[in-house]
Amino acid sequence: MDAPDGAAVGAVGAVGAERSDAARNRVLLLEAARRLVAERGAEHVTMEAVAKGAGVGKGTLFRRFGDRDGLLAALLDEAEAGFREVCTSGPPPLGPGAPAADRLTAFGWTLIDRIADGTDLGAALARQLRPRNRNASDTGRAFHRHVSVLLWEAGVDCDHDVLAHALLAFTAFETADYLVRERGVPADDLQATWADLVRMVTRPDSCQGGPAPGGS
């Protein structure tokens, strides 16, 4: 039996109000998190402090983002939006217009430079994420696909998906931080090594076989 028209309208209105409240809470929570990152640094941001700063319950925060990594990943995706746009549609050599190998070199150089710079917001946020969550974020997937596509465009004839993961492992914070901060390797040396890696994998005889990019 169909519900009365008034009940149907009431149900739709309730759903709309719930969605509106959820969207408003998301904005409030992200604003509070950004403010705390600016004031304290990403490493000192807690879920309790974010909920209190947004004026909502901790339950609302956990329902919206899952956990601290989910919240930081959302902030990371916002912070990296500009860099991702430069990589896909900005000027060369990061953006289109340069050979794929040159774009790949510039991409790695920029990531290493940002990791070595202690003031970069995106790097600071990514550093706080567990590797699996960092890789699964929108930013992590976008970086992986970008490298995979550039390998394909450079004519590398192998598994672009796996090779992209291997290359990006060199720019991971666990690797770069250890080399720069623990071993004292200059960032310039890491960038030179990245350029060597790109030259080796983009040689015509570097590897054989593999599908076109399309992984995650």
3-state class (DSSP) for residue 86 = helix
Cβ neighbourhood burial of 158 (10 Å; 0-12, 13-18, 19+): middle
Q: Is the pLDDT of residue 167 over 90?
A: yes
For 104-126, the pLDDT digits (tens) are 999 999 999 998 887 889 999 99
pLDDT on residue 11: 47
Indicate the pLDDT class of residue 94, thresholds 50, 70 and 90: very high
Q: Which residues contact 113 (CB under 8 A, 6 or more apart)?
A: 187, 191
How many other C-beta atoms can be found within 10 angstroms of the C-beta atom of residue 186?
11
3-state class (DSSP) for residue 69 = helix
Indicate the pLDDT class of residue 91, thresholds 50, 70 and 90: very high
Q: Is the pLDDT of residue 85 over 50?
A: yes
**How far apart are the C-alpha atoms of 51 and 59, rounded to whole Å?**
9
For 10-30, the pLDDT digits (tens) are 444 444 544 778 889 999 999
What single-letter DSSP state applies at residue 1? -
Cβ neighbourhood burial of 137 (10 Å; 0-12, 13-18, 19+): buried
What percentage of the chain exceeds 90 in pLDDT? 75
Q: Which residues contact 145 (CB under 8 A, 6 or more apart)?
A: 164, 213, 215, 216
The token pair at 160 is 């672009």
Q: Is the pLDDT of residue 214 over 80?
A: no
pTM of the model: 0.82
3-state class (DSSP) for residue 30 = helix
Q: Which residues contact 137 (CB under 8 A, 6 or more apart)?
A: 73, 76, 77, 129
With contact defined as beta carbons under 8 Å apart, do 140 and 132 qualify? no
**How far apart are the C-alpha atoms of 203 and 187, rounded to whole Å?**
25
CA nearest to 212, candidates 163, 171, 172, 143: 163
The helix-helix angle for 68-79 and 138-153 (nearest 10°) equals: 50
